[in-house]
Amino acid sequence: MAESQTAATIDNFSAPMTGGQTFELAGRPAKYTVLYFYPKDNTPGCTTESIAFREAYPEFQAAHAEIYGISRDSLRSHENFKGKLGLPFELISDPEEAVCTQFGVMKMKNMYGKQVRGIERSTFIIDAQGRLVKEWRGVKVNDHVAEVLEFLKSQP
């Protein structure tokens, strides 16, 4: 898994999210914002990853972090996915790929022997000042959430 650490500032962005809300990066009250980009609602890997974030949610809150999932799915799809899994955090809808493009997560991938353009599973941690403090790209679902949480717990 590719990891990097940087102190780049992330440009503010807003996007629609579940619960009839609009996500805006600027002014997030949490010390850390965890954005996890995933390919598609209701697929096996994305379901497993979302459940892992759900199960660790109290620990993320104790580490002063809020979690947001992002994919190109519609708000309606996100509301259904969130309800079905009982997710305690909001999902951001990015059908125009504006946020995906900003974070550079759109990639050509092989699916059933064909080249398709889709989201590369990635996670980003942004601090309260809008600085990117950690990123994971090409994420494998197993143990990823524990690794993100471990990083957050190591922060002063």
Q: Which residues does the annotation mark as catalytic?
A: 46
Residue-level length of the chain: 156
Tokens of 135: 């990123």
Report DSSP letters for 59-127, one per residue: HHHHTTEEEEEEESS-HHHHHHHHHHHT-SSEEEE-TT-HHHHHHT-EEEEEETTEEEEEEPPEEEEEE
